[in-house]
Structure 1
Amino acid sequence: MQLGLGIRWRSIFVLVVLWIMAPLVACVLGYVLTRTFDRICRFEGDGMALVISRLLVIVGAVASVAMGANDVSNATAVFLSIHMAGPLFSGVLGGLGLALGVLTWGRPLLERVAFDVVRMDRVMATAAQSVQALVVLVAVSFGYFTSMNQALIGAMAGTGLARGRQTIQTKQVFGILRGWLIGPAAGFFITYLSVWAIVAITG
């Protein structure tokens, strides 16, 4: 608004609804899928352990594809909106940045998600990764983006509830929820004040 540019409030509303619904839907699906996997493994016996391990690798790869489809657009779509670059260049630049982030600052977050949110086994991990990929890819297929983090944390919470609340690190989960509330509001005000300062300085 500081620059007098139009805001598409309908799109903002849809994204807010997705932002709210994604972790809730992921939680329900995580719960259902974990229970389903548990029943299948119970009937099929020990042979399912190898199948689950291989499935986990596959859904991990699919979730990574979903991250590329979702998060790279979040980071580089602005290049298209200001006609600075096309989709191919923006996608390549975003992909390189994504890889660099994994190799540099990604490890602490990887360890936190792996160990500090829900105590998981292979079945739970497979269910959570499957749900994360499904939720994000469905949103992307309709031309909308959502949070990979929210989809995964919601799915992990669902898998934890399927096994009992004792598997969930409640303190960490509430800390993440608090960050979800603070992040968008802080981003809005910081951006607004930054634009206001730039306009004031440059006239």
Structure 2
Amino acid sequence: MPLSSTCQNCAKSKVRCVRNSEETKICSRCARLNKQCVYRETGRRFKGFKKDRQIEALESRVNELMTYSKLIPASRTTGGNATHSLNGEEIDETTLDVIAQGLVDMKTAQALIDIYKTDMILHFPFVVISPQVQASDLRQQKPFLFLAVLASAAYSNIPLQRLLGKEMKKVIASRMVMNGEVSFELLQGMLVFLAW
């Protein structure tokens, strides 16, 4: 283990420690005061805050997923809105859409998206939705993230939040467990859903 750059006497006195030369291995203060100059072995270095390490781990996982998603064929879907599960059965994805099911109307969805963008994002800035993005855009482009945001932002309506949470679990079962799908959108949705 390397030696500290400050001797024990200077560290104890909280003063700057200046070595005369590498050969003498005695600092100018200890030489002037005629004290024994002892350098300690360096201790463990500060490894950063726990949150910084967690963010780095998340970033590396996202990078792995992005690399993995480039290796997989772009689409697992056939025509229309049907996807195949691992056992070959077709799943109609429109049944997983909470707007199509009538569980939430677009006005409520837009209000929940706005709550997420203005209030919740301040506390969880890892999945950012642009202020210009409307609920209908998010529903079309990233339906899983759309559902995750709705489920998370519905905290003032517990029955609705539970209902949307059940829908989230259905989508997770359909897309991840049965289809084995891995995508950046699924990661974003899972981060939002699990954080709230």
Specify the TM-score bucket, using the shorter chain as the normaliser. under 0.3
How high is the TM-score relative to the length of structure 1?
0.25
Q: Which has the larger radius of gyration?
A: 2
Higher strand share: 2
Higher relative contact order (CA 8 A, sep 6+): 1
How high is the TM-score relative to the length of structure 2?
0.26
